[in-house]
A and B are shown apart, each in its own frame.
Chain A
């Protein structure tokens, strides 16, 4: 299935603005982050720490609703979902 991944700020500079990823049915947010990390060493370092844990400063929105970190492992993605990945915000 295809999902759209959008990245912003520092994450956009590494991952790219908009990506369409083809991932297996039943994949979750964690699987998506692993797929993104596999694309380059820089992506991996951005998303995962040395112990392979998802970094603390990653914020994920699914279809423009923010996901709690505890939901990363539980959320199953669907065809055409829009996932946004970004660092802590700094507007205002």
Chain B
């Protein structure tokens, strides 16, 4: 499942859904709004292109690693410190490919998926600079 949503998610539900008889390990990554002295962040997406890109990243991971499933949920909208931003769930027969695939997916998301963050502080706001142009 690939989703971009304004709603929060329940990691446990997604983890349980990744179970199947060939899966020996499930690795997850949960991104959370960190307290860098901010009051809130706004996440903005080019939704159609971001969904397409997340799907392409899932397909890349499925072809590169020995894994059975990839689920990605990315939130948009206004979030507070401690809120979930992103969840990646990878189900695999063996742990090593699950860990590697999960790291590959979050790194690729940060490189190419058209989503941006604007941080709000007591003094104003600023766009978080992207690392890859």
Contact = CB atoms under 8 A, between A and B. Distances in A.
Interface string B32-53: 0000000000011110111010
Q: Which of B45, B49, B85, B112 has the largest count of A CB atoms less than 10 A from its CB?
A: B49
Interface residues of A toward B: which range? 20 to 34
A89 B86 CA distance: 15
Contacts of B130: 57, 87-90
Interface residues of B, number: 30
B127 A9 contact: yes
Interface in A56-70: 56-59, 61, 64, 66
Contacts of A87: 116, 127, 129-130, 133
A10 to B, nearest CB: 5
Contacts of B86: 91-92
Nearest to B117: A90
SS class of chain B's interface: helix, strand, loop or mixed? mixed
Given A9-B127, A57-B133, A59-B133, A89 B113 contact: yes
SS class of chain A's interface: helix, strand, loop or mixed? loop
Given A89-B112, A89-B115, A91-B110, A84 B133 contact: no
A86 B112 CA distance: 12
Contacts of B110: 89-92
A48 interface: no
B2 interface: no
B31 interface: yes
Interface string B106-133: 1001111111111000000001111111
A11 B75 CA distance: 21
Given A64-B49, A90-B127, A8 B106 contact: no
24 contacts: A8-B44, A8-B116, A9-B116, A9-B127, A57-B130, A59-B114, A59-B133, A61-B114, A66-B112, A84-B114, A86-B116, A87-B129, A87-B133, A88-B132, A89-B113, A89-B132, A90-B110, A90-B127, A90-B129, A91-B43, A91-B45, A91-B50, A91-B109, A91-B117
